[in-house]
Amino acid sequence: MSDTVEEVTRAQLRHGLRIATLLVAMVTVFGLGLANLLHHLDAYESPLTQLAALAALGAVLAGEATLLVRGRSWGRLRGPAIAIVLSASALSYVTLPDGRTSTTVDWIFGAANWVGVVVLLDRPLRTAASFLLAHELTALLHLLLLDDPSRKDLARFATGSVTVFGLPLCVAVVAAVMRGLSAAAATSRREIEQVRIAEAVAAESHRRRQQRFAALSATTVPLLEGLADGSLRPEDPVVQRRCAIEAARMRRLFAETDTVANPLLHELRHCIDVADRKGVVVELDARGQWPEPPVAVRRDLTEAVLIVLATAVSRARVTVVGSADLVSVSVVADCGEVNVPSPVTPGVRVEALKNDDTVWMEARWQPIRQRTS
């Protein structure tokens, strides 16, 4: 909520600066500029040309007022608008009497600069500075090429340029600073949000990992305590099988945090690795494509495999078959009696068959049925 309020405040400040600049330009053009033009109308070679230049600046200001009311910027019309302002300035100087540059007769010297800044207020500072420089050069060329200026004329031009160039530039600097602050605030806000999201993800991952470690501790801690106090013997086949199961579960837990294309196969390979280390030859076959199961579903699907692999004597085969509406994970191995795990997640079913020294176990998940249930 505070970020929204700050953004609204910044937008209001930018809008207010735009309105203030427009008002200054209108007072300059239709106040001082128009008064000087009418007062010296007889001095111009072509009064209609001066009036046309004034009308061109007025049209640009009217366009800015319209855009303000509609809450829009100049966009693609910005270039033509600046061209109109510079053309009006050049047109005025064409019919300006000799020796009158930067005097009260030269009404456009202190008017066109503000109109241009109005159009370029939301552009980078260098753009506004370039326009003001072009406006200054237009007047300077008229002074140097047509007026045969004296030292006094040059001093008058330099003195007038302080306000003609400096004041609009100050307004452009303020606008640029406001844009910079807004951009910096937006960047900081995005970075803060990214940090918050990362912290939330890390906290959630840590919470889930603690839950998983708590679940493992119910079976792993008693096993470790038994091995430590000697009540469980490492050479006991049952103890070895329990150790293999817990090791596979821990490997699966670590694999759950990895970012991979197929998490189910990735976690199965970690479960298989425990069987490989004790000399069981395991084949893995995957067919089809399937939606990514949630973590809890993957645990139920892999639980049957790791239990059988922990009991296997020499060989095992793991098969994964998937489609849009069914994921099946089955394992065949030469092992003795195994306990069939009970799935925790709805939608997962586990079946097992035993024939002599061979055990087949399958875990199935139907995602479509799960979503509709």
Number of H helices, E strands in the chain: 11, 5
Residues of the chain with pLDDT under 50: 1, 370-373
Q: Is residue 218 part of a domain?
A: no
Both 12 and 148 in one domain: the answer is: yes
CB neighbour class for 284 (10 Å; exposed up to 12, middle 13-18, buried from 19): middle
83 close to 49: Cβ distance less than 8 angstroms: no
Q: Is residue 206 part of a domain?
A: no
Give the pLDDT score at 339: 82
CATH number of the domain that 291 lies in? 3.30.565.10
Both 300 and 153 in one domain: the answer is: no
Both 180 and 322 in one domain: the answer is: no
How many domains does one find in the chain?
2
Both 127 and 254 in one domain: the answer is: no
CA neighbor of 286 nearest in space, from 270, 313, 266, 314? 266
- Furthest C-alpha separation in the chain: 120
Q: Is residue 124 part of a domain?
A: yes
Q: Is residue 209 part of a domain?
A: no
Both 107 and 10 in one domain: the answer is: yes
Quick: pLDDT tens for 129-174.
Answer: 999 999 888 888 888 876 677 788 788 888 888 888 888 888 888 8
Both 42 and 136 in one domain: the answer is: yes
Give the pLDDT score at 373: 43
Q: Is residue 227 part of a domain?
A: no
Both 158 and 254 in one domain: the answer is: no
Quick: pLDDT tens for 76-120.
Answer: 899 999 999 999 998 888 888 877 777 888 889 889 999 999 999
Q: Which residues of 61-95 are buried (b: 16+ CB within 10 A; e: fewer)?
A: bebbeebeeeeeebeeeeeebbebbbebbbbbbee
In which domain, by residue range, is 178 found?
A: 2-192
